Structure formats: C-alpha cells, structure tokens
Copies of this chain bind each other. A is one copy, B any other.
Amino acid sequence: MKKVTVYITLKQGVLDPQGKAIQESLNSLGYKEVEEARVGKFIELQVEEGPDLTERVTVMCDKLLANPVIEEYRFDVEEAEAL
C-alpha cells in the first residue's frame, strides 16, 4: 500500500480571495506581520500498489482532482504506514 499526497494550489497570478480574507483577518487580530496568505488543499490517497502508479496518479489529478486551468499540483508517493 502506498500513500500518495497530492498538493493543489492556485496558479501564480490567480486571485485567491480566501487567502486574502485570512490575511486581512489576521492583520485585524493584531498579526500585522502577515503580509500574504494563500490557501491550497491536499488530498491523501491510500492506493494499492501496481504498475505505473505515477502515471495513473497524474491522470487522476488531471481528470478529477485538480482544475488545470487555474490550479497546479504536485504529489509525493511514500510507503503507507501499517494500520
């Protein structure tokens, strides 16, 4: 079993209103040192091992997990911890 973690972020230059709201909220709570905030998501998949894992995960990202128009992604593959 492998653990695949996909990190998805908005592309550079795409407006991130959620990040902007976080930055402004932190500033108004007194954390003036926060100059920018950007939000992304990650998806942890438990995947049974098989051939072409990297290629298959790439297709999963392109087809379902990320929106390639405005988002970019990267992923890591590691051994899943025993449950």
Contacts and interface: CB of A to CB of B under 8 A. Distances in A.
B50 A43 contact: no
Nearest to A1: B35
B22 A64 contact: yes
A55 B83 CA distance: 33
Nearest to A65: B22
Nearest to A36: B46
Nearest to A49: B33
A15 interface: no
Contact of A25 (B36, B42, B64): B64
Interface of A: 1, 7, 19, 22-23, 25-26, 29, 31, 33-50, 56, 60, 63-65
